[in-house]
Amino acid sequence: MQDEQAAIIEELGVAAQFDAKSEAERRTTFLADYLRASGARTYVLGISGGIDSLTAALLAQAAVRRLRDGGYAAEFIAVRLPYGVQADEADAQAALATIRPDRSVTVNVKPAADAMLSEVKREAPDLFEGARADFHFGNVKARERMIAQYAIAGAARGLVIGTDHAAEALMGFFTKFGDGASDILPLAGLNKRRVRAVAKVMGAPDGLIFKVPTADLETNAPLRPDEDAYGVTYDQIDDFLEGKPIDEAARERILTQYRSTTHKRALPVVPLT
């Protein structure tokens, strides 16, 4: 393995060994312990119909159940955050049926996202013309989801769970201060196939575990696979994170993407002292 690959694996906290059952247990305990230690009472998480949010939600629901059994009042709130009607709503409902959250809240982010875009556009229409406009608006949707989750967490003595994991962190594939904003990351250090393995031992159905991952942010390209945007496959990303050799073009693509998104994995830049 090359030095840079090894350094990235260490930075992103990807373990050499992995056992799904013990990881599920360790991460459930982590969520339970942190909620109690923080004095907060609620975990809040957006449920998209994808595997990352399903896995994090299964861990969170198990953690709050365990806390309640131990006499600590705790609750999990699952938040549906469609932009209008989403193409894979049935998957989101299947995820909710699997999670069986203590409470479920649906907030349509379309009115707020549309209103924000139209106000910004009125002042600076030239910035929102052309092919990239839909892409930039996708980030507005992700940030509206963040606002809704923090509104609920603030009112419910809650903490917002993020679903970032090593595969997405490697590629910087999240909206800064959108889905990248959270209080706690129970999937940190897992690559995508390890997220799926944790989901499996937590009882998720195969149809959701092996669903094609999608950020689903672009209005003009619903359910666009993440792999189309990456130009590499999750298998290649996962192999890279497990220290395995991958083909040279994929490796270059990953490293270029990793280097150009360094700022997304860091605190805001400050003057040198």
Ligand X SMILES: Nc1ncnc2c1ncn2[C@@H]1O[C@H](COP(=O)(O)OP(=O)(O)OC[C@H]2O[C@@H]([n+]3cccc(C(=O)O)c3)[C@H](O)[C@@H]2O)[C@@H](O)[C@H]1O
Ligand Y SMILES: Nc1ncnc2c1ncn2[C@@H]1O[C@H](COP(=O)(O)OP(=O)(O)OP(=O)(O)O)[C@@H](O)[C@H]1O
Binding-site residues from annotation for deamido-NAD(+): 143, 176, 183, 263-264
- Among 164, 168, 179, 226, the active-site one is 168
Q: Is 52 a catalytic residue?
A: yes
* Exposure on the CB side of residue 97, measured as CA atoms within 13 A: 8
Phi (first) and psi of residue 61, to 5 degrees: -65, -40
Site string for ligand X, 248-267 (x = CB under 6 A): ---------------x----
Using CB under 6 A, pick the residue from 46, 49, 82, 178 that binds ligand X: 178
Site string for ligand Y, 37-66 (x = CB under 6 A): --------xxxx-xxxx-------------
Site string for ligand Y, 157-196 (x = CB under 6 A): ------x----x----------x-----------------
In whole angstroms, the minimum distance from the beta carbon of 228 to ligand Y comes to 13
State the residue number with the nearest CB to ligand X.
Answer: 215
- CA-CA distance, 32 to 201, in Å (whole number)? 18
In whole angstroms, the minimum distance from the beta carbon of 81 to Mg ion comes to 11
In whole angstroms, the minimum distance from the beta carbon of 82 to ligand Y comes to 5
Pairing of β 158-160 and β 42-46: parallel
The site for ligand X (CB under 6 A) is made up of 138-139, 142, 168, 173-176, 178-179, 215, 217, 226, 229, 263, 269
What residues make contact with ligand Y under the rule CB under 6 A?
Answer: 45-48, 50-53, 80-82, 86, 145, 163, 168, 179, 213-215
